[in-house]
C-alpha cells in the first residue's frame, strides 16, 4: 500500500537528509518530495521577510500541492509567518516547523516561567519570538521571553565548521542551564541547531523543532 505524499520546503539544503530520516520514521511508506530554496533564507537575513519571499513561499507550497502532497512542512523558522500566510490559501495542511515547539515551550514554562530562545541568526528571533509570545498570550501564563543570538555560530556553519557551530550552541545552553537566573525551558530557534545537543542531558528542557514539526506533520496526515 502506497503511503501519503509529503512535501518539505527547506532553505538549508543540508537539512533535507535530516528531515527525510525523521519523516521516514514517523510516516511509514511516505513518498517525500523536497523543495530547496536557499535564496529565501538569504533574503530574510539580508532584508527580512519581504513581499517577494512571501510570494515565493506561496509558489513553492502551491507546486508541492500540485505535485500531489497531502501535507507540507516548511523547515525554516525565519520564514514562519510567510508559511502561515501560504497555509491560509492551501487546500492541504501547511505547517511551520517551530509551531509545536512554541506550544511545548509555553506549556513547560508554566505560570510565570522563563523561556530563553537561542538563535544563530538575527532573522529568526523576530518570527520565533512573536510565535512564542502569541502562545504565551493565548495561554495567559504570564511567562517571560528572552532571546539571544549566538555570535559566530552562523558564520562557522556557513564556512563548513560544524564543530565550532555546535560547540557555541552547547556552550550557550550550558551557560543558561547553569546561570544564576536559569530558565525553565530553552528553545533552539533553528532546526539546524538541533544536532548540536543530541545526546546532551541538560538540567532543564532544551527544545528543538525537527522532531516536533515532523510529529505534527504525521498527525495532520492522520
CATH of the domain at 122: 3.40.50.1860
Q: 110 and 200: one domain?
A: yes
Whether residue 92 is found in the same domain as residue 103: no
Q: How far is CA 203 from CA 3, 155, 163, 176, 183, in A?
A: 39, 28, 23, 10, 10
Q: Domain total for the chain?
A: 2
Based on the domain organization, do 10 and 89 belong to the same domain? yes
pLDDT of residue 180: 61
Tens-digit pLDDT string for the chain (222 aa) = 578 999 999 999 999 999 999 999 999 999 999 999 999 999 999 999 999 999 999 999 999 999 999 999 999 999 999 999 999 999 999 999 999 999 999 999 999 999 999 999 999 999 999 999 999 999 999 999 999 999 999 999 999 999 999 999 999 999 998 766 679 999 999 999 999 999 888 889 999 999 999 999 999 998
Domain shared by 71 and 81, yes or no: yes
Q: Please check whether residues 89 and 138 belong to one and the same domain.
A: no
The residue with cell 513561499 is 57
Contacts of 75 (CB under 8 A, 6+ apart): 8, 9, 10, 11, 12, 15, 19, 97, 191, 209, 210, 213
What pLDDT sits at residue 181?
62
Same domain, 217 and 187: no
One domain, residues 51 and 83: yes
Do residues 148 and 116 lie in contact, with contact meaning Cβ atoms separated by under 8 Å?
yes
Q: What is the pLDDT of residue 3?
A: 87
- Residues 108, 91, single domain; the answer is no
Three-state secondary structure of 103-157 = HHHHHHHCCCCEEEEEECCHHHHHHHHHHHHHHHHHHCCCCEEEEEECCCHHHHH
User: Does one domain contain both 152 and 56?
Assistant: no
Q: What local confidence, expressed as pLDDT, does residue 60 receive?
A: 98
Beta bridge partners of 114: 144
Domain coverage including residue 81:
5-97+211-221
Amino acid at each position: 500500500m502506497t503511503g501519503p505524499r509529503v512535501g518539505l520546503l527547506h532553505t538549508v539544503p543540508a537539512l533535507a537528509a535530516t528531515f527525510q530520516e525523521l519523516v521516514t520514521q514517523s510516516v511509514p511508506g511516505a513518498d517525500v518530495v523536497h523543495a530547496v530554496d536557499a535564496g529565501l533564507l538569504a533574503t530574510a537575513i539580508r532584508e527580512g521577510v519581504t513581499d517577494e519571499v512571501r510570494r515565493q513561499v506561496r509558489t513553492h507550497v502551491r507546486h508541492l500541492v500540485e505535485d500531489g502532497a497531502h501535507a507540507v512542512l516548511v523547515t525554516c523558522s525565519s520564514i514562519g509567518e510567510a508559511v502561515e500566510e501560504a497555509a491560509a490559501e492551501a487546500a492541504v495542511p501547511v505547517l511551520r516547523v517551530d509551531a509545536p515547539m512554541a506550544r511545548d515551550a509555553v506549556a513547560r514554562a508554566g505560570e510565570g516561567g522563563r523561556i530563553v530562545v537561542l538563535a544563530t541568526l538575527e532573522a529568526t528571533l523576530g518570527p520565533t519570538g512573536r510565535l512564542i509570545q502569541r502562545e504565551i498570550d493565548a495561554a495567559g501564563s504570564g511567562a517571560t521571553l528572552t532571546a539571544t543570538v549566538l555570535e559566530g555560530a552562523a558564520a562557522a556553519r556557513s564556512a563548513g565548521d560544524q564543530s565550532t557551530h555546535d560547540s557555541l550552541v552547547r556552550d550557550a545552553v550550558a551557560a543558561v542551564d547553569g546561570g544564576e537566573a536559569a530558565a525553565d525551558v530553552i528553545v533552539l530557534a533553528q532546526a539546524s541547531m538541533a544536532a548540536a545537543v543530541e545526546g546532551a542531558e541538560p538540567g532543564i528542557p532544551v527544545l528543538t523543532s525537527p522532531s516536533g514539526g515532523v510529529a505534527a506533520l504525521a498527525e495532520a496526515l492522520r
